Amino acid sequence: MTRIVHIEIDDANLPPPTPEIEQERKVAMFDILEDNSFKLPDHLDKTYPSGPYRLGLAIREKRLVFEIETEEHQKAAEFHLSLSPFRQVVKDYWAICESYYDAVKNMPPSQIETIDMARRGIHDEGARILEERLEGKAEVDNDTARRLFTLMCVLHFGN
């Protein structure tokens, strides 16, 4: 019951995604829905409804917005994370992704693998920052944090 069963991305105010960005988004959403761990921790003053959850993600006023509902569309929680701590890692992530996309088209497998290892390292750093920022708001495992970081990057791309 501690999982996400639906994801809605609010990209209404973003430019159309490139094919690569759209692919990143589709893969991350599929992977999250296949296997994730997401729990709203109870606090002394508040108890949250149990999952499974529907997750809405958006960027508003330079903040990453998580809108969480139960499967029956009952509002469970909403929280906003500043994008400032992510600025450099998102920039680095998109730069290495561009290198990776170019490498796949033009370079031998050994060079692609090297770039992909660097990409995974930056991705891990972004997931670590996201887990830290979610502390006390939501409990996620590392794989879920990685996939949420990808979706955050997709949203951040247009801003």
pLDDT, one tens digit per residue, over 21-49 is 888 889 999 999 999 999 999 877 788 88
Residue 48 has what pLDDT? 87
- Return d(Cα 2, Cα 121) in angstroms, integer: 27
Residues of the chain falling short of pLDDT 70: 1, 157-159
Residue 97 has what pLDDT? 87
Q: Phi/psi at 55 (nearest 5 deg)?
A: -115, 130
- Return d(Cα 73, Cα 89) in angstroms, integer: 33
Residue 1 has what pLDDT? 66
CB under 8 Å to 67, separation ≥6 — which residues? 55, 56, 57, 58, 75, 78
Residue 135 has what pLDDT? 94
**pTM score of the predicted model:** 0.89
Burial (CB < 10 A; 0-12, 13-18, 19+), residue 15, is exposed
